[in-house]
């Protein structure tokens, strides 16, 4: 299909001189390697991971001792122990019967790596194929496959594994099968959600019009655009990672969200995470995660309304987020009015990323908070949260919020700034707008540091001889205001 379009373009467009021709893009893998090579921290992590994997796969070339050799007379020994009789050095010591702990760990890692890689490959392949077929064809095919997914979700995993082990002879192969028959489900659900969106895109419609076969469209054009969420599932559990951060920072609940920036990239492959992915994250702890639907309403304003309504009514999402600066649109555009009307009808807030955006292709003309002024005038009951306090247009954001009763702001990403600047800004906001309309936020890169920064503001005020934030107002900022807008029971 790409070659056919190229021929058509060449026939219709005037020939360009060589200096004006667009250079050919490097292969994907070469671009990925160049990006990794220039990120020294990521490169160091990759090399460490590569070395550990090689040691686990080929332990005989790195470990001199056998993991099975026993010396009960030796007994348990501490790290860096040297046996005087044999002269052997045990870097990690020995266990109760004198076996080398380092050798046992390394040889055990080979089994863990084999099980992990094999189960991810098997379950990922099954899940991606089922999700791709389900999302691409829709209709009764989608209903049938998703009911099968529901059955596997409802069946207790431990019981399923025990049944397989009881029926079949216990072995490493059975362990791999037992794990694979369960963990393909997240892949299927995520890829299915992405496929539902991708199949409606222009390049898929063009491929159908060009007469390409169904299999060719699925695997050449749809599949490459839906693999990103599957890669996320294959590498780590986002929900477990976030729970760990929440527990370490003593955060009870977290609002999580997605984004969709595909439209504004030439290849239509910009950053994108489907909203259905949040269901998998929330499943780790349904009582601790609250979901916010990320939308690009300018892709298809009416489809955005439909997707938002599904997220709220069927999946219990508590808000939506739009990105005017990232996605190049004016929030006062009339095409968004049906979206705002539905937001009011659903009684949810709309978060808006306003202010500076580091992306080179994000026009600054769409970053100013005052663009929401006309929206607030036309829709006085619309609940709006201006993200990041509209930095660097902070005073403009405060003036906007002071004017509109249902407007709020959050402090996401402000852990990046000097704590005294954060304190002075909050005090100024409180004087102008009151503390009822300012929300705590951490941003994912500051989840670990933002809570302590916010909790320590009054201690900082005492050290710098600045006014304190009243404790009741600090409580509003930290959680009460968000609980009210997101309808969190306390």
Residue 442's CATH number: 3.20.20.140
Q: Answer yes or no: do 217 and 292 share one domain.
A: no
Rounded to an integer, the average pLDDT of 414-435 is 92
Give residue 441's pLDDT: 80
Among residues 211, 220, 160, 165, the alpha carbon closest in space to that of 184 is found at 160
Q: Answer yes or no: do 335 and 466 share one domain.
A: yes
* Residue 272 phi, psi dihedral angles, 5° rounding: -160, 130
| Distance of alpha carbon 47 from alpha carbon 49, whole angstroms | 5
Give residue 414's pLDDT: 86
Domain membership flag for residue 101:
no
Helices (H), 199-320: 202-209, 214-217, 227-235, 238-249, 277-282, 301-313
Q: Answer yes or no: do 144 and 268 share one domain.
A: no
Q: Residue 442: beta bridge partners? A: none
Q: Answer yes or no: do 211 and 162 share one domain.
A: yes
Check whether the bond before 392 is cis (ω within 30° of 0). Answer: yes
Residue 124's CATH number: 1.10.3720.10
pLDDT of 404 strictly over 90: yes
Last residue of a domain, one of 235, 268, 302: 235
Domain membership flag for residue 444:
yes
pLDDT tens-digit map of 16-74: 344 444 445 555 567 667 777 778 887 888 888 888 888 888 888 888 778 878 888 78
pLDDT of 110 strictly over 50: yes
Q: Residue 386: beta bridge partners? A: 352, 409
Domain membership flag for residue 45:
no
Q: Answer yes or no: do 127 and 187 share one domain.
A: yes
Q: Answer yes or no: do 140 and 183 share one domain.
A: yes
Domain membership flag for residue 301:
yes
Give residue 338's pLDDT: 95
Q: Answer yes or no: do 350 and 478 share one domain.
A: yes
Q: Answer yes or no: do 405 and 345 share one domain.
A: yes
Among residues 104, 100, 122, 101, the alpha carbon closest in space to that of 112 is found at 104
The total number of residues written for the chain in this structure: 490
Q: Answer yes or no: do 216 and 264 share one domain.
A: no
| Distance of alpha carbon 134 from alpha carbon 127, whole angstroms | 10
Work out how many domains the chain is built from and give that number: 2
Last residue of a domain, one of 235, 259, 275: 235
Q: Answer yes or no: do 289 and 143 share one domain.
A: no
Q: List the domain range (segments joined by +) for residue 408.
A: 237-485
Last residue of a domain, one of 190, 216, 235: 235
Q: Provide the whole-model pTM.
A: 0.57
């Amino acid at each position: 299909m790409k070659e056919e379009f190229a021929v058509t373009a060449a026939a219709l467009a005037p020939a360009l001189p060589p200096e004006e021709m667009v250079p050919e893009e490097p292969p994907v893998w070469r671009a990925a390697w160049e990006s990794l090579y220039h990120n020294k921290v990521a490169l160091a992590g990759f090399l460490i991971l590569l070395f550990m994997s090689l040691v686990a796969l080929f332990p005989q070339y790195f470990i001199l001792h056998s993991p099975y050799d026993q010396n009960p007379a030796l007994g348990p020994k501490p790290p860096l122990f040297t046996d005087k009789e044999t002269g052997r050095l045990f870097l990690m010591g020995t266990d109760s019967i004198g076996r080398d702990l380092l050798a046992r760990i390394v040889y055990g890692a080979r089994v863990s790596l084999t099980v992990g890689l094999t189960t991810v490959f098997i379950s990922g392949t099954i899940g991606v194929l089922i999700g791709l077929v389900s999302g691409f064809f829709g209709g009764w095919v989608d209903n049938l496959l998703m009911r099968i997914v529901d059955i596997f979700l409802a069946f207790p995993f431990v019981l399923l594994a025990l049944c397989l082990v009881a029926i079949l002879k216990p072995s490493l192969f059975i362990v791999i099968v037992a794990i694979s028959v369960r963990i393909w489900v997240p892949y299927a659900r995520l890829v299915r959600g992405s496929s539902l969106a991708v199949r409606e895109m222009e390049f898929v419609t063009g491929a159908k019009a060009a007469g390409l076969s169904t299999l060719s469209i699925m695997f050449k054009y749809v599949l490459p655009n839906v693999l990103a969420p599957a890669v996320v599932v294959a590498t780590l559990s986002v929900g477990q990672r976030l729970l760990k951060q929440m527990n370490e920072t003593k955060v009870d609940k977290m609002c999580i969200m997605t984004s969709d920036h595909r439209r504004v990239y030439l290849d239509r492959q910009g950053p994108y995470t489907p909203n259905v992915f949040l269901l998998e994250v929330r499943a780790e702890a349904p009582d601790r995660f609250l979901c916010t639907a990320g939308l690009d309403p300018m892709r298809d304003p009416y489809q955005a309304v439909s997707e938002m309504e599904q997220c709220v009514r069927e999946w219990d999402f508590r808000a939506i987020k739009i990105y005017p600066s990232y996605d190049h649109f004016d929030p006062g555009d009339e095409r968004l009015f049906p979206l705002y009307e539905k937001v009011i009808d659903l009684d949810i807030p709309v978060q808006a990323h306003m202010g500076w955006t580091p992306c080179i292709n994000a026009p600054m003309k769409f970053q100013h908070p005052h663009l929401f002024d006309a929206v607030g005038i036309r829709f006085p009951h619309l609940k709006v949260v201006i993200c990041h306090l509209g930095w660097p247009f902070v005073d403009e954001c405060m003036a906007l919020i002071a004017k509109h009763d249902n407007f709020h702001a959050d402090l996401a990403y402000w852990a990046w700034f000097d704590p005294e600047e954060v304190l002075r800004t909050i005090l100024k906001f409180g004087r102008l707008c009151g503390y009822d309309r300012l929300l705590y936020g951490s941003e994912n890169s500051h989840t670990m540091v933002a809570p302590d920064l916010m909790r320590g503001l009054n201690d900082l005020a005492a050290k710098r001889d600045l006014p304190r934030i009243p404790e009741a107002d600090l409580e509003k900022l930290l959680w009460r205001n968000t609980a009210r807008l997101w309808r969190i029971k306390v």
